[in-house]
Structure formats: C-alpha cells, structure tokens
Chain A
Amino acid sequence: EVQLVESGGGLVQPGGSLRLSCAASGFTFSSYWMHWVRQAPGKGLVWVSRIKSDGSSTSYADSVKGRSTISRDNAKNTLYLQMNSLRAEDTAVYYCARGLLWFGEPSYMDVWGKGTTVTVSS
C-alpha cells in the first residue's frame, strides 16, 4: 500500500525551530518529486515547498523562503522540512504529498499523508 506518514509536529515557541519528517512506503520514493502543503486552522490549503526526486532542485513559497529547508534521504525513504524562526502564522497542519509530472513538469499531487500539527505559541 502506498503510504505517507508525517511526524515531528508539536508546540513550539515563536522564534523556535522544528523538523518535520515524512516516511514513505509502498512505492519507489527516489523516483518522485515530493511536496509539503499546510493548512492553518479553519483555512484553505497552501503549498509550501517541493523537492526533486534526487534532491537537486527545490522551491519554496514566499511565506517560508529563507526560514525553511526541504530535504530528503532516499536511502531512508524520508522527506524532511526544517522550519526555523517560527511565527504564530506558521501554525497549521502540515501534509506531505507525492508529486507527479505532466509533460515533464511537476504538476499535481496524487498521494497525501494524514498530516502533522504544528502550533507556534508562547
């Protein structure tokens, strides 16, 4: 069964750091782009970041650029999101998702994890 399981969320103070993990199983992790998407309480979905299958290319939303780093360990089938200088507005459920290509370009996300909750509060 294709599965993504996030972990690492929790309560952190403003200005703190957190590293989220996403464990993949049931597919060849090293062949796929991977994404992070977040959802603040009662709000809509916001794309956060993506990384190429071999880790050679990354992109970030403006809201996290410079404060977050996406990475992956293909030997461990695990995706990461290191988040620094956390703010109250980073409070959200963070989902990892598998990315697929359309005409060779990253295009959509077909498998999602259940999410991990990050709360930034003093």
Chain B
Amino acid sequence: DIQMTQSPSSLSASVGDRVTITCRASQSISTYLNWYQQKPGKAPKLLIYAASSLQSGVPSRFSGSGSGTDFTLTISSLQPEDFATYYCQQSYSTLWTFGQGTKVEIK
C-alpha cells in the first residue's frame, strides 16, 4: 500500500496567518492527490482534487501544489471557519489511502 505522511500533525495559528501543510507519498503518485477538510462531528469536505484543482464553492484562499511524492496545501489567510483537521488522500493505486491528518488549532 502507498503510505501518506502529513506534517505537521498539528499546528497553532492565528487568523490571517498563512498556513502550509505537507503531504508525502511513499512512492510517486503523479497528481492523484486530494485534500479534505473535516470539522468535529461532521463529514469530510473536498477542498482540492488532482493536487491543484479547487473544488467548486471552496474559497480561493485554499490552494494545492505538488506532484510525484511531495504535495502542499496552503491557506493564504486563515479564517475562523478554517480551524479543522485536514487530510490528504491518494488515488493513484487501487487501494486508496489517507494521511493521518493535520489539526489546525487557534493560537
């Protein structure tokens, strides 16, 4: 199975901060990488698909980049509603895998 490793596992940031989350795959996955946001007690929400394509309705402060094994999710100016856990997910292999998650907390 392809292992997905996110860093950091958690971070504290203030409203208005630029936040970057990294996701590394254990082998090359081209751009078959997606990002989801999950708030406590809620279902995940798709933010970015195919590494850099913004899902419809998602604010433009969210962006994704990368290819191969290294990917990033960037929030350009953190908003109060962005405090949540973020997951990357690969769809390169038949068996999909998620990263362990990055919890973004209020500083």
Contacts and interface: CB of A to CB of B under 8 A. Distances in A.
Contact of B44 (A45, A61, A105, A107): A45
B82 to A, nearest CB: 18
Interface stretch (A9-17, A68-76, A77-85, A110-118): A110-118
A93 to B, nearest CB: 9
Interface residues of B, number: 24
Interface residues of A, number: 22
A108 B89 CA distance: 8
Chain A contact residues: helix, strand, loop or mixed: strand
Chain B contact residues: helix, strand, loop or mixed: loop
Contacts of A106: 91
Nearest to B38: A45
Interface string B35-49: 010100011111001
A88 interface: no
Contact of B49 (A102, A113, A114): A102
Nearest to B45: A112
Interface of B: 1, 32, 34, 36, 38, 42-46, 49-50, 55, 87, 89, 91, 94-101
Q: Which 9 A/B pairs are nearest by Cβ-Cβ distance?
A: A112-B43, A47-B96, A108-B49, A108-B34, A45-B98, A107-B91, A44-B101, A110-B46, A44-B100
Interface of A: 37, 44-47, 50, 59, 61-62, 95, 100, 102, 105-110, 112-115
